[in-house]
Amino acid sequence: QVVAVYGTLSDLLSVASNKLGIKATSVYNGKGGLIDDIALIRDDDVLFVCEGEPFIDPQTDGRPQEELTGAHTDWLTLNVGGRYFTTTRSTLVNKEPDSMLAHMFKDKDAWGNKQDHRGAFLIDRSPEYFEPILNYLRHGQLIVNDGINLLGVLEEARFFGIDSLIEHLEIAIKNSQPAEDHSPISRKEFVRFLLATPTKSELRCQGLNFSGADLSRLDLRYINFKMANLSRCNLAHANLCCANLERADLSGSVLDCANLQGVKMLCSNAEGASLKGCNFEDPSGLKANLEGANLKGVDMEGSQMTGINLRVATLKNAKLKNCNLRGATLAGTDLENCDLSGCDLQEANLRGSNVKGAIFEEMLTPLHMSQSVR
């Protein structure tokens, strides 16, 4: 057949398959050299295609070249960890030509004298993990019997350099893992967890999902809730003294009358939460830190927040009526449309804050805004 050569090697194999009615997988030149790049083909070259078998010179009566030269037979036996496997050299070489097995057996003397008394080539590996690999090289399908650990097969595939099988195994292992349980932790589960933890031990709940849980009136002092999901939780009257709520999601939660002395809520999201009557004021002088927190629309009416750090926090549309903000840091804070009526803002730092539309009527102390207040 005369074939126009263009595109890639895959295109050539596809055209040859259609013209010859076979599933062409390899292309050889007239001397039996395997062509792996279409750029190696020259004008008027005579090419031979096959479905994976070794090259056979049509001028040698159809006998394989290795038989004519007295070379070794294509059949061989492997002794893998004491178990014998009989296969062909082409099986070990053709599917993954760059693998360790291909390099071992593509040449006659690859193993030298590493043979047992029966002439089988010795391989010191696990036979149960080797069997799926050999079957994959035979027919291209990953088939693993029950009871065989896929991780063991994966390690063998990596050892022998069977790259295409490694990808299949990684996917199979991932699919075999149980689905991660992302369901929220209930109050009952958490209380059991609290009771089982020694009082002197640091309790880490970082990144856990408590969404919608009732954690009201619990002693949660010093617990690390960093990046935890506490959205829509009931934390009313809870003791969160010195708890770490950095980057936690508290949106829509209820924290009314909670003890938040010395709490860390940097960059947390408490949008729409209720914090009425909370105590942020620590008599020992430890200040609560809510720097960069999202407090849009929160209700903090009547909360004690002396010395609190709300720098660059967002309090747009928040209710801070009758709050004690004496000495609070509000530099760069967004207080747009915020209700600050009745607040004590004596010695508070409002430098660079946005107070557009904010309500300041009936303040306990006069507010002297500097030019830096927007």
The whole-angstrom separation of Cα 22 and Cα 165 is 25
Q: Are 133 and 206 in the same domain?
A: no
Q: Does residue 69 fall inside a structural domain?
A: no
Average pLDDT over residues 246-274: 96
Q: Does residue 104 fall inside a structural domain?
A: yes
Q: Does residue 3 fall inside a structural domain?
A: no
Token pair of 109 as six digits: 């003397």
Instruction: Tell me which residue range forms the domain holding 339.
Output: 179-373
Q: Does residue 66 fall inside a structural domain?
A: no
Number of domains forming the structure of the chain: 3
User: Residue 182: pLDDT above 80?
Assistant: no
pLDDT at residue number 20: 83
Q: Are 130 and 83 in the same domain?
A: yes
pTM for the full predicted model: 0.51
pLDDT at residue number 108: 64
Domain containing 263 — which CATH number? 2.160.20.80
Which DSSP helix (H) or strand (E) runs through 86?
Answer: strand 83-88
Q: Does residue 168 fall inside a structural domain?
A: yes
Q: Are 336 and 190 in the same domain?
A: yes
CA 173 and chain centroid, separation: 15
What DSSP character marks residue 119?
Answer: S
The overall average pLDDT reported for the chain is 85
Q: Are 95 and 194 in the same domain?
A: no
Q: Are 253 and 137 in the same domain?
A: no
* DSSP string across 251-309: TT-B-TT-B-TT-B-TT-B-TT-B-TT-B---TTSPPPB-TT-B-TT-B-TT-B-TT-B
Contact residues for 9 (Cβ-Cβ < 8 A; gap 6+): 27, 35, 36, 37, 38
Residues 311-332: tens digit of each pLDDT:
999 999 999 999 999 999 999 9
Q: Are 158 and 104 in the same domain?
A: yes
Residue located via tokens 């690859």:
110
User: Residue 260: pLDDT above 90?
Assistant: yes
Q: Are 42 and 123 in the same domain?
A: no
- Look at 103 and 177; give whichever has higher pLDDT: 103
Q: Which of 3, 80, 102, 85 is nearest to 46 (CA)?
A: 3
User: Residue 173: pLDDT above 90?
Assistant: no
